[in-house]
């Protein structure tokens, strides 16, 4: 039996790569239902002052096609507690690089108040969208 019933994670998933797949696989190994929030183009631009290379509808289609993903939703803002409440999430998955940061210590407290845990998943070394972008630009 899986450890959690409903899990949630988010990402831009631009230039989908093995690191993205590894995160989704690890998350699904821990929950019965995995909901994935795909960052909208507008939110990505507002946070990073640039648009993703692959548009949001195509990124959503890619993530929807992954066998580990049960549902894909738009991530339209950085509100972390709203999707937990909206989808009755009992675990949020996030990269281990966020563990121990002030923001995620606070999120852990907020989630605990509504019965939700945080699982930190390890990053796949040697691959990221930033690395891919740098290789393309060379």
Q: Looking at the annotation, which residues are catalytic?
A: 48, 50
Residue 136 has φ and ψ, to the nearest 5°, of: -65, -40
User: 9: part of which helix (H) or strand (E)?
Assistant: strand 4-11
Give CA 87 to chain center in angstroms: 15
């Amino acid at each position: 039996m899986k450890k959690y019933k409903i899990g949630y994670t988010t990402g831009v998933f631009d230039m989908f790569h093995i690191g993205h797949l590894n995160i989704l696989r690890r998350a699904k190994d821990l929950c019965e239902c995995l909901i994935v929030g795909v960052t909208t183009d507008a939110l990505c631009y507002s946070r990073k002052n640039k648009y993703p290379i692959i548009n949001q509808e195509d990124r959503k289609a890619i993530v929807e096609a992954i066998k580990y993903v049960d549902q894909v939703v738009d991530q339209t803002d950085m509100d972390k507690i709203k999707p937990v409440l909206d989808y009755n999430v009992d675990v949020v998955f996030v990269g281990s690089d966020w563990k121990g940061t002030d923001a995620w210590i606070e999120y852990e407290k907020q989630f605990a108040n509504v019965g939700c845990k945080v699982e930190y998943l390890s990053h796949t070394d040697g691959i990221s969208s930033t690395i891919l972008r740098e290789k393309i630009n060379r």
